[in-house]
Amino acid sequence: MNNLEDWKLHYLEYCKIQRNLADLTLKAYQRDLDLFISFHKKNHNNTLVNEITDRHISDFLIDQFSNNISAKSLARYRSSINNLFNYILNNKGIESNPVELVNTPKIRNKLPEVLDVDTLNRLLDIPLESDIAIRDKSIIELFYSSGLRLSELSNIKWHEIDFQQSLVTVLGKGNKQRVVPVGNKALDALKEWMPLSKIWDTDRSGYVFISNRGSQLKQRSIQARIKHWAMHMGLWERVYPHLLRHSFASHVLESSGNLRAVQEMLGHADISTTQIYTHLNFQHLAKVYDKTHPRAKKKR
């Protein structure tokens, strides 16, 4: 087998079955690889893997750069192509990986945004004047209480919440299961929502968060509800599910200093992913120091 298109299909099948990657991740890989294969085929009229060099890959990345593609996206393209060629190399399709000779622009790490505790308290002070408000409050409480991803929260079922032990079991990236603590405020909000959820769940699906039409509440709807309440409660900040996850991580780390525990609760495979929150805490400490230390205050 010498055709890059055939290798791509085998690689995506491997990612799906052996690596158990999520559908969204597989689609992202496929988009990146299709873009490269299409470019290479157009410019070189073939897709033979043993004829692809580092120059061909550089030409593709340079072309994308000329179309104002960001450094982050270029790095992602390179990573996707590199993973494919590593797969081909490991399966004896080529003798070396040409991507290893290709560099991409350095990405400036952007610290995640977080909400401070006072702002979160304002957001969570939702007036429970309707069934939808009761549901939405339990959504936001659970996001902030347990640092869940949007997909994880959307797919939770009632039997996965242990009210006695204050725990929730979620299925994260790569279909990896983890158990996460749930705070008392979130548990109280869920208990208030539960009887309404059972009534709304006409399909008896068992999902925790149900739309008023009786079906599982979709991820886009959850995003829209959070945005609605941020505006309704007078917040100027752009509020979205991952911002609540960032805030959870930052606040727990700030209080406990236990990076490993935060890693486990977030479901990060690599602790280096979690370490970005330590930079946030150092940034916070630096601000406090500059404002309060007599020898640090700047003269006006």
CATH 1.10.150.130 boundaries in the chain: 4-101
Among the listed residues 149, 225, 246, 251, the single catalytic one is 149
Check residue 285 and give its pLDDT: 47
Q: How confident is the model at residue 83 (pLDDT cuts 50, 70, 90)?
A: very high
Query: What is the four-CA torsion angle of 21, 24, 29, 32, rounded to 10 degrees?
Result: -170
Among the listed residues 242, 287, 291, 297, the single catalytic one is 242
CA distance 11 to 200: 42
Burial 42-72 (b: 16+ CB within 10 A, else e): eeeeebebeebeeebbbebbeebeeeeeeee
pLDDT (mean) for 77-86: 93
- Cross-strand bridge partners of residue 157: 207
Residue 277 is among the residues annotated as catalytic for this protein: yes
Among the listed residues 173, 178, 185, 227, the single catalytic one is 173
More confident residue, 257 or 155: 155
Helix (H, G, I), strand (E, B) or coil at 181: strand
Q: What is the 3-state secondary structure (H, E, C) of 86-134?
A: HHHHHCCCCCCCHHHHCCCCCCCCCCCCCCCHHHHHHHHCCCCCCHHHH
- Give yes or no for residue 295 having a pLDDT over 60: no
Check residue 110 and give its pLDDT: 60
Nearest one of 146, 292, 298, 131 to 212, comparing CA atoms: 131
Residue 242 is among the residues annotated as catalytic for this protein: yes
CA distance 115 to 244: 7
Phi and psi at 3, nearest 5°, equal -95, 130
Q: Return the structure tokens found at 237.
A: 């900040």
Among the listed residues 8, 135, 225, 245, the single catalytic one is 245
What's the pLDDT tens digit per position in 106-121? 655 565 678 888 889 9
Residue in the block written with tokens 């079955």: 17
Check residue 289 and give its pLDDT: 47
- Cross-strand bridge partners of residue 178: 170
CATH 1.10.443.10 boundaries in the chain: 117-289
Residue 268 is among the residues annotated as catalytic for this protein: yes
Check residue 144 and give its pLDDT: 92
**Fold of the domain spanning 4-101:** DNA polymerase; domain 1 (1.10.150)
The amino acid at 26: L
pLDDT (mean) for 70-82: 89
DSSP per-residue string spanning 49-90? GGG--HHHHHHHHHHHHHTT--HHHHHHHHHHHHHHHHHHHH
Max alpha carbon distance in the chain (Å)? 70
The answer to whether the predicted template modeling score (pTM) of the entire model surpasses 0.75 is no
Beta carbons of 99 and 82 less than 8 angstroms apart: yes
**Fold of the domain spanning 117-289:** hpI Integrase; Chain A (1.10.443)
Residue 279 is among the residues annotated as catalytic for this protein: no
- Cross-strand bridge partners of residue 207: 157
Among the listed residues 56, 76, 268, 284, the single catalytic one is 268
More confident residue, 108 or 159: 159
The amino acid at 55: R
The C-alpha R_g of the chain, in whole angstroms, comes to 24
